[in-house]
Structure formats: structure tokens, C-alpha cells
Amino acid sequence: MTEPVLSLTQHIPALLVLVPLLASAIIPFSPARLRRAGGTVALLANAAALALASALAVETFRLGRVTYNFGGWAPPWGIEYAVDPLAAIMLLLVAFVSFAAAVYSRAAAGAEIAHEKLPYYHSAGLLLVSGLSGMIITGDVFNLYVFLEIASLAGYALIAAGRRRDALVASFNYLILGTIAATFILLGIGYLYMASGTLNIADLRERLPHIYHTKTVLTAFAFLMVGFSIKTALFPLHIWLPDAYTYAPSPASALLAAAGTKVGVYAMLRVTYTVFRPEFNASVVPMKTILLVLSSAAIIYGAVMAIAQKDIKRMLAWSSVSQIGYIVLGAAIASQYSLTGSLLHMINHALMKAALFMCAGLMLISTGAEKISDLRGAAARMPLTMAAFTAAAVSMTGIPPTLGFMSKWHIALGAVEAGLWAVVPVVLAGSLLTGIYFWKVIEPAYFAAPPEGHIPSGRGQAPDTPAPFWAAAPAAALAGLGVLLGLAAWTPAAGAARAAGELLLK
Amino acid sequence: MIEFIAGKYNYWIYIILMMIGFYAIIAKGNLIKKIVGINIFQTAVFLFYISISKVKGGTAPIHWDKAVIYDNPLPHVLILTAIVVSVSVTAVALALIIRIHKEYGSIEEDRILRSRREKL
């Protein structure tokens, strides 16, 4: 940053965070007439963020690494934004999913949120995107904490916007646990700073290996891992998740499930592989064993709980607990294949869970269905929604040729490669259980006759209304993308994930 | 032993405060008291940051002719940010409590739970 050029392309990393942040501030403070167009403003800001993230991804894959010094202060004194291939993929993923959620929200969020509150909902959504992008892009651990809290606060507001009063309690419980997690992370960062005297991630990576065995560094690592495990809802710290995702408005659930928890896992990966090196996990703490056990338990327990649910969204929420288990499992095995699988599964779960939650929202809008039992014969009444749901469910289960198959295949291969045979049955059993709980929804929707005089749980006897096209389109597009990415699998997506994983292991 | 306790008293203070806050979060049924607990919990961590910034014989990090050593100002700055975050969390939590009180007519956890169970 020697010459002060007013070139916008140079400032893409900063703009990627600032555009949604500014847009989220503009919406609630603009005059009433403009405020009603909050959905459009949010959509435009998300489209801009998506364009910026795409440009940044192209640039990153060309150069290998893009950095940006905030305010022109060189690291380690200033705050650095650092984008490597992994960060570029995650930024693109978050931008893409939030764009899809914005398309949905603009068309249909009004069905679940009171009209006068809509602008604030759109504003909170943008704030979440800004916080998540910031968490991914930042090269400074304290900055990471600040963005984490921005994203969390937006998340609490989004969950509280749900139409039932239970949403308030769900949001409050998440706030308590989320704040404990964030305070743990803050404490961990404090210990890291105390031991190393720096907050810059690249700098920490250089300085920490000399002091790996000190108690200060071990304490820092423990606090950071517990904090991020709460944020990602890794079993057994997942208790806030089912209520939060069930009672949040559907597009907010889609955004939180798809982007929110993924970024938590990303931050965990950054801490274990970039701030600390892979050797640290191998030689100093038995992190691998702990994570293997916890994530295997998460896969099975989440799936079993999902099978037991009667509510569509609660089932999807428990499914998230199980799928997060897969992502962490792949990361914990820490071989080339498994990390590729883990990253692919992040993409898969983000796209598919967003599509599934949008479908749940569409079901509520068009037939008032909230419980699985309301869906008997529903495929005839909402063919597009059910088709998107089925496609997403197939990819989530991991049936070839979808992306979900690719990701689970890579994780299983990685387990075999690492000689962890005990993990392979867990991967397969989890997949089977996933198939069972989705089949519980798909089977009655397609093969059962619609019951006479049945009143759906979501509302009274209001007649069926067709879902708005622009709400159904993003759900179908996301679900279709999962199948397409899997079909073209040895593809840019897999190649990019492999490259990102390789860099992480170095 | 005395050296161990007295020499590291700043850590003891922060640990004890943190546990008091943690206890309040878990054991208190009143939602406002839980938020008080959260605040104590966070403040303990702030004190930890501030205490590690102290340099023996250092003065406040403001330029002054007679000063030889300064305290480390960076943790102070970090904690200013963290205090802002903490205030925002408290604000959001209190707003939620007001809404919860409107909907459930109580801010006692057990009564809210009972009311939710009756509804089911």
C-alpha cells in the first residue's frame, strides 16, 4: 500500500465487509417510504457482496493469497485482512447463500414476520452477513472476536423475530450460551497475547511453536476450542441449536444453519491449523481423539434425534447437529482426503440446509404445514417445493451422484487412509439414518392420500395459497446446484476444496 | 504457597469473579440476574486483560517527560472494544427480557417453562 491509489479493486476485501454493514445501518434509519423497500436494499447489498466475493475468489486463486492492510498500517501493528483459497471459498459460499436467502426474504419473509418489523429483519440479516464475512477474512484474532460478536448479536435478533413466543426464549438461551462462548474465546485470545505478544494470525503461527508446551498456550487453546465448539453446536454443546432453528423465521434459519455454523467450524479450523500448526494437535494435545469421539457421537445422536421429531424444522435442526459432526469429523481425521471431504461437506450442507429450511418456509406459506403429519399428499399441492426438498434430501443423505456423496466418500476415504477403521461404520450409519429421517417426510408427501378435513398445525383453515415464485426459485436453485456440483464432481469445486485443504495441512 | 497466592493475586481475583458470574448464570432463575451474572463473567475477563498490561514501575501510557517505562496500552484498547460489545449484548438481552415479560407475564425461568409446557 505504498501509492495511494483510489482503485476500488484494491479495496475489495474491505468492501466485502463494509457494503453489508453500511446497508444494514441505512435500512432502519432511512425514511419510512425507503424503509419499506428494505428487502430490495438488502437484496442489492447481497448481490454486491456476491460480486465482490466472486472477484476476490478469482484474484485469490490467481495470486494464491490476497492481503489488505486496514488503514495502511502494516501487520503485525495494524489489522490485516488475509484471504487464502479456503477463505475465498468460504466467503463465496456465505455470500452466495445469503444472496439466495435475501431473494427468498424479499419475496416471502412477510409471511412469518410482522410487516412493520420487516426492515429490521432485513437489517439484521445484512449485519449477520457482514459479521460472518469479517470472521472469515480477518487475519487478526481479536478482530475475529469482534466480528464473531457482531454476527452473534445479529443472530439473536433474527431468532427472536420468529412468530411464536417460544422464539424469544430460544433466542435468550442462545444469547446466554453464545456470550459464554464468546467470553471463553476472548479469554483464550488474552492468553495467546500474554504468551506471544501478538494478535496477528500469521505472526502467532511463527511465534507459538517455541512455546507450545507452556501452560499459558495450552489454556488458550482449551478456551478457544470450547468457545468455538459452542458456537458451532458440536455435540454435547449443541443444546441451544434445536430450539433456535425451530422457532426462528424460516429464511433466518436457512441463513444461520447454512452460513452461521459453517463459519464457526471455519474459525475452529483456522485456530487448529493456522494459528496452531497441525503438529501441535498431533504432539501436544490429544485433540484428534477428542474431536473424533465427539463428532462421531454428534453424527449418530443428531440423526437419531432427527428421526424422533414430529416438527419439520426441528427435524432439520437436529439434522444440522448430525451434519456438523461430519464436517468436524473430516477436519479431525486431518488427512488430505478427509479435509477435502470436510470442506465439500461444508459447501454441501450450506447449500442443502438453506434449501431445506426455505422449503420448510414454503410449506408453511402454501399449506400451513408445520408438522410432518401435515404433509400427507402434499406433493400434489406443491410439486416444486417437494421436488426441491427431495433433491436437497438426496444430496444430504449422500446418494451418488450428488455433492453429499462426494463429501462423505472423501471423509470415509480419509478415515481408511488414516487407518481409522472404526470411523467408517459411523460415516455409513449416519448416512443411513439421514436417509431414514428424510424418507419419513418424503414418503407421506408423495405416497399418502391427503386426509379429509385435516387442519394443518401452522394455521387455521385458511385455503392453500401458492408460494411466491421468487421464494421457491432460490430453494430450487440451491437444491439443483447440489446435484449439479456432484455431477460435475471432479470439478472446480472438488479441485478448489482439495487445494484449500492441502494449504491448511502445511 | 503464600508466594503462589499473593504473587499471582490478579489471577485469583479474576478467577473468583468469573466463577461468581458463572454461578449466577447457571443457578439464578431470574433472567435479569442471569444477565447480571453474564456481566460479572465478562468483567472478570476484562480485569484479566487489564492486569496483564501492567508493567512494573510503568506509568499510564500517556506521553510524560518524567516517565521511564509505560504500561502496555494495547490490552486497554482491546478492552474498550470488548466493553462496547458487552454493553450491546446486555442491551439485546434486556430487550429480549422485556419482550419475554410481555408474552409470558414473568421473568422467572421456572414460570416461563411451566407456561410453555402448559401450552403444549
**Residue A165 with chain B: CB contacts under 8 Å:** 100, 103-104
| Interface residue B48 vs chain A (CB under 8 A) | yes
Q: How many domains does chain B divide into?
A: 1
Q: Is A179 in Cβ contact with B38 (below 8 Å)?
A: yes
| Interface residue B38 vs chain A (CB under 8 A) | yes
| Interface residue B39 vs chain A (CB under 8 A) | no
**Residue B85 with chain A: CB contacts under 8 Å:** 146, 149, 182
For chain A, which residues lie within 8 Å of any Cβ of chain B, measuring from their own Cβ? 142, 145-146, 149, 153, 156-157, 160, 165-166, 168-169, 171-172, 175-176, 179-180, 182-183, 186-187, 190, 193-194
Asked if A351 and A258 touch (Cβ cutoff 8 Å), the reply is yes
Q: Cα(B68)–Cα(A505) distance, rounded to whole angstroms?
A: 45
Confidence of residue A158 (pLDDT cuts 50, 70, 90): very high
| Interface residue B67 vs chain A (CB under 8 A) | no
Cβ density class A350-372: b for 16+ within 10 Å, e for less: bbbbbbbbbbbbbbbbbbbbbbb
Of the candidates A434, A262, A402, A427, the residue with the CA atom closest to the CA atom of residue A330:
A427
The C-alpha cell of A284 is what? Answer: 501436544
Which range (A33-37, A316-320, B13-17, B65-69) has the least confidence?
Answer: A33-37
Asked if A109 and A3 touch (Cβ cutoff 8 Å), the reply is no
Nearest chain B residue to A171 by CA distance is: B96
pLDDT reading at A460 higher than 60: no
Q: Cα(A245)–Cα(A243) distance, rounded to whole angstroms?
A: 6
Q: Is B41 in Cβ contact with A183 (below 8 Å)?
A: yes
**Residue A160 with chain B: CB contacts under 8 Å:** 96, 99
How close A227 comes to chain B (CA, Å)?
14
Pick from B52, B82, B92: which is nearest to A153 by CB? B92
pLDDT value at position A3?
47
Quick: pLDDT tens for A228-286. Answer: 999 998 888 888 999 899 999 989 999 999 888 889 999 988 888 888 887 777 777 78
pLDDT value at position A401?
78
pLDDT reading at A41 higher than 90: no
Mean pLDDT computed over every residue of chain A: 85
Which range (A261-275, A338-352, A373-387) has the least confidence?
Answer: A373-387
Quick: pLDDT tens for A59-100. Answer: 888 887 888 888 778 877 788 888 888 888 899 999 999 999
pLDDT reading at A6 higher than 60: no
| Interface residue B115 vs chain A (CB under 8 A) | no
Task: Find residue A66's DSSP bridge partners.
Answer: A83
Mean pLDDT, residues A296-315 taken together: 91
Q: Are strands A80-83 and A66-69 parallel, antiparallel or unpaired?
A: antiparallel
| Interface residue B88 vs chain A (CB under 8 A) | yes
**Residue B76 with chain A: CB contacts under 8 Å:** none
**Residue A190 with chain B: CB contacts under 8 Å:** 45, 48-49, 52, 75
**Residue B97 with chain A: CB contacts under 8 Å:** 172
CATH number at residue B34: 1.10.287.3510
Q: Is A142 in Cβ contact with B96 (below 8 Å)?
A: no
Q: Is A165 in Cβ contact with B104 (below 8 Å)?
A: yes
**Residue B93 with chain A: CB contacts under 8 Å:** 172, 175
pLDDT reading at A424 higher than 50: yes
Asked if A475 and A386 touch (Cβ cutoff 8 Å), the reply is no
Q: Is B100 in Cβ contact with A176 (below 8 Å)?
A: no
Q: Is B85 in Cβ contact with A172 (below 8 Å)?
A: no
**Residue A141 with chain B: CB contacts under 8 Å:** none
Rounded-to-10 torsion of CA A46, A51, A56, A62: 150
Q: Is A165 in Cβ contact with B103 (below 8 Å)?
A: yes
pLDDT value at position A224?
92
Pick from A142, A172, A182: which is nearest to B78 by CB? A142
ipTM, interface predicted TM-score of the complex: 0.93
Q: Cα(A86)–Cα(A346) distance, rounded to whole angstroms?
A: 11
pLDDT value at position A2?
47
Mean pLDDT, residues A444-467 taken together: 69
Instruction: Walk along chain B (120 residues) in steps of 10 and give the mean pLDDT of each run.
Output: 79 91 92 94 93 82 81 88 93 93 87 79
pLDDT value at position A136?
92
pLDDT value at position A182?
94
pLDDT reading at A1 higher than 50: no
To probe the interface with A, which of B19, B99, B101 has the most A CB atoms within 10 Å? Answer: B99
How close B42 comes to chain A (CA, Å)?
6
Its domain, for residue B63, covers: 2-119
How close A404 comes to chain B (CA, Å)?
36
Pick from A142, A172, A179: which is nearest to B31 by CB? A172
To probe the interface with A, which of B43, B88, B92, B103 has the most A CB atoms within 10 Å? Answer: B92
| Interface residue B55 vs chain A (CB under 8 A) | no
Q: Is B96 in Cβ contact with A171 (below 8 Å)?
A: yes
Q: Cα(A56)–Cα(A66) distance, rounded to whole angstroms?
A: 8
Q: Is A156 in Cβ contact with B78 (below 8 Å)?
A: no
To probe the interface with B, which of A153, A159, A180, A196 has the most B CB atoms within 10 Å? Answer: A180
Q: Is B85 in Cβ contact with A176 (below 8 Å)?
A: no
Mean pLDDT, residues A372-382 taken together: 81
Nearest chain B residue to A188 by CA distance is: B45
Name the more confident of A491 and A387: A387
In three state form, how does the secondary structure of chain B look? CHHHHHHCHHHHHHHHHHHHHHHHHHHCCEHHHHHHHHHHHHHHHHHHHHHHCCCCCCECCCCCCCCCCECCCHHHHHHHHHHHHHHHHHHHHHHHHHHHHHHHCCCEHHHHHHHHHHHC
| Interface residue B79 vs chain A (CB under 8 A) | no
Cβ pairs bridging A and B (under 8 Å): 66
